[in-house]
């Protein structure tokens, strides 16, 4: 099996400053607020005779149901915007991978309700006016105030949804997908005039008017403050610049960032920023990269593998290049910890946040283990740094090279195919169920590693994952 590096036992744990963690109830509170907003919408619909109209015939049934689906779609669309507004306490409560999953679920649900709204309203109005559906839709678009804008907004949202389907996303570069995804904000903005000018449920009562204006202002404000204002302020205040670009291996480079008072960033090892390097055309494209070393007063470090145009361009950066920061994000940090012992499972470039965590986490010699997978010996990064951690802090490190097992989804190399994934883990870490397990790597590999950890008896609360794929 893989190489093991042991360490001396005379290490004294460095002092770790206590940090305030996010209360667990915040996560529940966020869910209650989102669910409560849907109840408010239904209550406002009921108040505006929504239930009574169900029994007024086919036209009334279709129209009032269309109103309800439209209201729910609008509310979920605003929830979707807030979910990805990078609100700090929301992001820390869920983590970016969980927020992205909920964002997709809420987004597709909102879209389906919006389609139902369009169909039901068209059918209801056509039945009421005794017109054909096509003619009714034409009249709605061209004669009702705000409907042309709403149609354009719907087209923008359709484009966002289509490009968010996994098959479509796989064919797009991250930068292209991210640019197209910004059209969701345009879709929300274009829908607002239609809702205020022709949506009776938005203006049916003072309570409805206050709720909907408040919801739109809250969603827009969260985007302006946390997606634009806070990153801009941090960039201007800390003045980050590239201080060095260092090759680590074939196609892998580390970028060192210096700046003013970086120690004041609310930053933990294991987190990531969205980085924009102000080196010319294309600087607006953000790239999410984790820190590959624990943050220090001297600066930050990221390590990037050449996976496309954006990462290849980073290798050409020059010292002195200014940097725009958005973050920090992620909850793959010490705050997730529940046990004194930790095991890190890393694959490929996924070692970067785990290497930073090994540097920052408090643990006694022998209480931390790194299991590091790569296709070839040459692909292992930070060997010298990991050796120093092993010698200084007593980290147990297992390098696991080789191609993956053929014929099953596995975290192990093919030469260990005789073992089950659980057996492979337990051979390396027999007391794994007493550890916190941090996992980072490609999505399929993460799934296999997490399944192996659960199969080895590790409770779900002790397995910590954050997926950085888009």
Spell out, as residue ranges, where the chain has pLDDT lower than 70.
1-27, 164-183, 196-199, 307-311, 468-470
φ/ψ of 180, rounded to 5, equals -65, -35
pLDDT value for 449:
95
Q: Are 302 and 352 in contact (CB under 8 A)?
A: yes
Q: At what angle do helices 25-47 and 58-83 cross, to 10 degrees?
A: 150
pLDDT value for 350:
92
**296 CB neighbour count, 10 Å cutoff:** 12
Task: For residues 66 and 362, give the distance between their C-alpha atoms in angstroms, rounded to a whole number.
Answer: 56
Q: Which fold has domain 333-465?
A: Rossmann fold (3.40.50)
Q: Are 394 and 365 in contact (CB under 8 A)?
A: yes
pLDDT value for 16:
34
pTM here is 0.79
Q: Name residues whose C-beta falls within 8 Å of residue 325's C-beta, 6 or more positions apart in sequence.
A: 231, 234, 235, 238, 240, 273, 274, 275
Domain limits of the chain? 25-234, 240-329, 333-465
328: cis peptide before it, omega within 30°? yes
Q: Name residues whose C-beta falls within 8 Å of residue 103's C-beta, 6 or more positions apart in sequence.
A: 80, 83, 84
Short-list 440, 442, 434, CA closest to 462: 434
Task: For residues 194 and 205, give the distance between their C-alpha atoms in angstroms, rounded to a whole number.
Answer: 17
* CA-to-CA separations, 222 to 79, 107, 157, in angstroms, rounded: 11, 18, 20
Q: Are 417 and 403 in contact (CB under 8 A)?
A: no
Nearest 5°: CA angle at 167, between 451 and 188? 105
CATH class label, 240-329: mainly beta
Q: Name residues whose C-beta falls within 8 Å of residue 308's C-beta, 6 or more positions apart in sequence.
A: 173, 174
Strands, sheet with 463-465, edge to edge from the N-terminal-most edge strand: 3-5, 396-401, 368-374, 341-347, 435-440, 463-465
Q: Spell 396-413 as b/e; 16+ CB within 10 A means b.
A: bbbbbbbebbeeeebbbb
pLDDT value for 183:
66
Task: For residues 332 and 461, give the distance between their C-alpha atoms in angstroms, rounded to a whole number.
Answer: 13
Q: What is the CATH number of domain 25-234?
A: 1.20.120
pLDDT value for 308:
60
pLDDT value for 17:
36
Strands, sheet with 300-305, edge to edge from the N-terminal-most edge strand: 241-249, 252-258, 300-305
């Amino acid at each position: 099996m893989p190489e093991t590096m042991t360490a001396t036992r005379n290490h004294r744990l460095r002092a770790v400053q206590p940090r305030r963690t996010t209360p667990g109830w915040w996560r529940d509170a966020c869910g209650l607020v989102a669910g409560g907003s849907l109840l408010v919408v239904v209550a406002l619909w009921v108040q505006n005779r929504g239930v009574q109209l169900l029994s007024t015939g086919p036209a009334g049934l279709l129209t009032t149901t269309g109103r309800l689906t439209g209201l729910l779609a609008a509310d979920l669309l605003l929830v979707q915007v807030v979910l990805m507004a990078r609100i700090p306490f929301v992001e820390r409560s869920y983590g970016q991978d969980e927020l992205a999953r909920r964002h997709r679920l809420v987004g597709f649900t909102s879209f389906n309700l919006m389609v139902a709204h369009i169909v039901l309203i068209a059918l209801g109005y056509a039945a009421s006016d005794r017109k054909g559906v096509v003619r009714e839709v034409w009249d709605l678009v061209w004669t009702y105030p705000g409907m042309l804008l709403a149609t354009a907004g719907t087209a923008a949202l359709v484009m966002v949804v289509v490009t968010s389907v996994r098959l479509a996303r796989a064919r797009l570069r991250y930068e292209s997908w991210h640019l197209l995804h910004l059209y969701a904000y345009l879709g929300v903005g274009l829908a607002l005039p239609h809702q205020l000018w022709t949506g009776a449920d938005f203006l049916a009562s003072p309570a409805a008017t206050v709720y909907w204006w408040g919801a739109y202002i809250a969603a827009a404000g969260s985007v302006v403050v946390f997606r634009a204002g806070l990153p801009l302020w941090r960039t201007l205040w800390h003045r980050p610049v590239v201080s060095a670009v260092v090759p680590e291996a074939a196609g892998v480079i580390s970028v060192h960032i210096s700046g003013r008072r970086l120690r004041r960033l609310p930053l933990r090892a294991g987190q990531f920023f969205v980085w924009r390097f102000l080196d010319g055309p294309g600087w607006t494209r953000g790239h999410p990269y984790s820190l590959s070393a624990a943050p220090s007063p001297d600066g930050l470090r990221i390590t990037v593998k050449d996976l496309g145009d954006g990462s290849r361009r980073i290798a050409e950066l020059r010292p002195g290049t200014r940097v725009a920061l958005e973050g920090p994000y992620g909850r793959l940090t010490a705050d997730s910890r529940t046990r004194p012992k930790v095991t890190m499972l890393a694959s490929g470039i996924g070692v970067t946040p785990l290497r930073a965590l090994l540097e920052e986490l408090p643990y006694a010699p022998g209480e931390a283990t790194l299991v590091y997978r790569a296709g070839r010996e040459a692909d292992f990064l930070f060997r010298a740094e990991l050796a120093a951690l092993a010698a200084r802090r007593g980290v147990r490190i297992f390098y696991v090279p080789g191609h993956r097992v053929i014929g099953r989804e596995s975290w192990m190399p093919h030469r260990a195919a005789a073992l089950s994934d659980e057996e492979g883990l337990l051979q390396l870490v027999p007391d794994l169920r007493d550890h916190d397990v941090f996992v980072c790597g490609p999505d399929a590999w993460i799934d296999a590693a997490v399944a192996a950890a659960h199969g080895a008896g590790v409770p779900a609360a002790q397995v910590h994952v954050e997926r950085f794929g888009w």
